[in-house]
């Protein structure tokens, strides 16, 4: 069984891709809504929360993991993998697949938008620069929480204004969505860059590259079961789950 984990609705963007390309995979998704969002948290806090998430999933039979959260991917995956003794091929994070995908594009100058934890780590910068790519980093600290809270379109677009400004100031050609929440508002960002930037700007969602690696490395055969485990109930999460996956899933609230 494949297990995905994130602080909340963000990882659903990865799950959507995986579900579309591997519909028979049995999937268990842990959403830690009681501690969302993960972006502002310290590395120490992320270690504790990640251990908890992986323990919950392993106790339910998960043996292959997707860390569907960039803050976790950049901060704690290596020590966590060592602690749990996961062999290579049993854990997929977000940054490596993103770098490999963008490398083969006509990407120009790159802007990675992400949470504070992801920007603070410097991992995206190092990964991209080692491949000879020019990259700028921009933290968008309000965005994940706004998406998680289900705020109005106008508020989302207000939060995204600095992204458009950065594209203009730094002549950005490609935006990489360095938080799994952000693809859920990709259409808004695309509209804003088309209207507010004089040159074309591509937007890259790493979820597709992560899914391709999962299909190559994981067992995606099964009966197609989909179960959500949540540390706290959320109407926003239920709305997104129903919108993206219809009725073919179950939700369990952990006590």
| Residue 165 annotated as part of some ligand binding site | no
| Residue 6 annotated as part of some ligand binding site | yes
Positive or negative: CA dihedral 11, 242, 184, 223: positive
Tell me whether residue 69 is one of the annotated catalytic residues: yes
| Residue 26 annotated as part of some ligand binding site | no
Q: Which residues pair with 253 in a beta bridge?
A: 230
| Residue 90 annotated as part of some ligand binding site | no
Q: Residue 80's closest CA among 59, 124, 50, 55?
A: 50
Catalytic residue among 76, 179, 230, 241: 179
CA pair distance 239, 159, nearest whole angstrom: 22
Report the run of H or E that residue 34 belongs to, with start and end: none
Tell me whether residue 179 is one of the annotated catalytic residues: yes
CA pair distance 78, 221, nearest whole angstrom: 28
| Residue 181 annotated as part of some ligand binding site | yes
| Residue 249 annotated as part of some ligand binding site | no
Structure tokens at 247: 């009725």
| Residue 240 annotated as part of some ligand binding site | no
Q: Which residues pair with 203 in a beta bridge?
A: 175
Catalytic residue among 9, 62, 69, 72: 69
CA pair distance 193, 144, nearest whole angstrom: 19
| Residue 7 annotated as part of some ligand binding site | yes
Binding residues for substrate: 6-7, 38-39, 70-71, 180-181
Binding residues: 6-7, 38-39, 70-71, 180-181
Residues labelled as active-site residues: 69, 179
């Amino acid at each position: 069984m494949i297990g995905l984990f994130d602080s909340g609705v963000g990882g659903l963007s990865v799950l959507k891709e995986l579900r579309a390309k591997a519909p028979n995979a049995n999937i268990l998704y842990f959403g830690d809504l009681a501690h969302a969002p993960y972006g502002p948290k310290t590395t120490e806090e992320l270690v504790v929360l990640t251990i908890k998430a992986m323990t919950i999933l392993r106790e339910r039979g998960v043996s292959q993991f997707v860390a569907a959260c960039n803050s976790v991917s950049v901060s704690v995956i290596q020590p966590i993998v060592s602690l749990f003794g996961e062999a290579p091929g049993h854990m997929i994070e977000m940054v490596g697949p993103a770098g490999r995908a963008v490398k083969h594009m006509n990407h120009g100058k790159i802007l990675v938008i992400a949470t504070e934890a992801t920007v603070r780590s410097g991992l995206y910068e190092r990964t991209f620069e080692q491949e000879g790519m020019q990259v700028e980093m921009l933290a968008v600290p309000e965005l994940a929480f706004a998406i998680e809270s289900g705020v109005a379109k106008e508020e989302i677009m207000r939060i995204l204004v600095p992204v458009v400004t950065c594209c203009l100031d730094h002549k950005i050609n490609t935006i990489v969505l360095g938080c799994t929440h952000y693809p859920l508002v990709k259409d808004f960002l695309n509209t804003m860059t088309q209207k507010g930037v004089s040159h074309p700007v591509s937007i890259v969602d790493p979820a597709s590259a992560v899914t391709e690696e999962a299909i190559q490395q994981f067992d995606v055969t099964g009966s197609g079961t989909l179960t959500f485990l949540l540390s706290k109930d959320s109407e926003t999460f239920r709305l997104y789950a129903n919108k993206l996956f219809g009725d073919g899933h179950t939700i369990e609230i952990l006590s």
